Structure 1
Amino acid sequence: MSEIANTARRWSLRVNRVVEIACVVLLALLVLDVWLGVLVRYVIPLPLTFTEELARYLMIWMALLAVSSGIAYREHIGVEFIFGRLPAKMRRWLAVSFDAMAFLFFALLFLYGLGFTIRGFSRFTMINAIPKAYPFAGVPLAAFMAALQLLLVGIHDFFSARAPERTGATLVQGEE
């Protein structure tokens, strides 16, 4: 059973690697965009108005995608006071229950986010008049990635040889 846990953890780290690279690319674009915005506002007077709007959407996409990375490393909020004092078997079931509840939340967020994104095609951004569906698409994408990570982490929690020591226990490659 531990092999299933290890496979789930490996896939979780692989998916997380893609998300981390996407977040770094978004951060680089955000920094370049903000620098360009400062340059065109104070140094080179060019009529570039898209920089503010683009910075806002890049930051939102990056922050939303980073949620799944926090889930992959178990760096999310947890109530340690009670969890750490429970017996191992109860900790395992409680961790899996937390994973299942969070999975349900992100699955619903994904479904509602799809509708939100589809409706966004009829609304347009203020400055560039592009459909708001493109910025809105970050919500279902991030919810899908978070749900996928929760599924993989939940499989790891369930099949792992050891019960989680705490709710925010980091899943490292050398574990087990």
Structure 2
Amino acid sequence: EKARPSQSSSLKPTTNTGSDNTKYANADIHELIKDKNWSEVKACLSAHPGKAMWKNNDSTSSYAVKQTLPLHLAAICRAPADVVRMLLDAYPTGAKEENAFGRLPLHCAAAHKAPGDVVRMLLEAYPDGKKVEDNDGKLPVHIAKRYDIIAPKEIIELLDVP
């Protein structure tokens, strides 16, 4: 697979100049997601779909893990399905990319009790994702079953590996 350039996510949003292309040119997609500003996330992705490929290389935020795509962060922040769909449409390979902990967006969704429709979308984008272990040897289902998470039964069934 072709390597993607890593984009630093330390840019700040610009003021609105009337054009979404201009307004979101320097917008930090990770910050918009972290702030759960879903309408702004969608507008930013509509204007600049390539931002779905930006990896966060700043680990100073509690949400930030190096090599985290917007898709990972959307799963962590329990983004609505339409936001996750936009991210997957803009960068389908994102479902297969691991962060610095070896976690796929699916692991992140399991760890943060993402809605069932989001988990299904991630599984449709990368069905074998439920068989991928993170750096600690954990599958997404192991994370979903952790005592401090205990994801809904529907999610555990979706993630279960036969």
Q: TM-score, normalised by structure 2?
A: 0.19
Structure number with larger C-alpha Rg: 1
Structure with larger RCO (C-alpha < 8 A, sep 6+): 1
Could you say which structure has the higher helix fraction? Answer: 1
TM-score between the two structures when normalised by the length of structure 1: 0.18
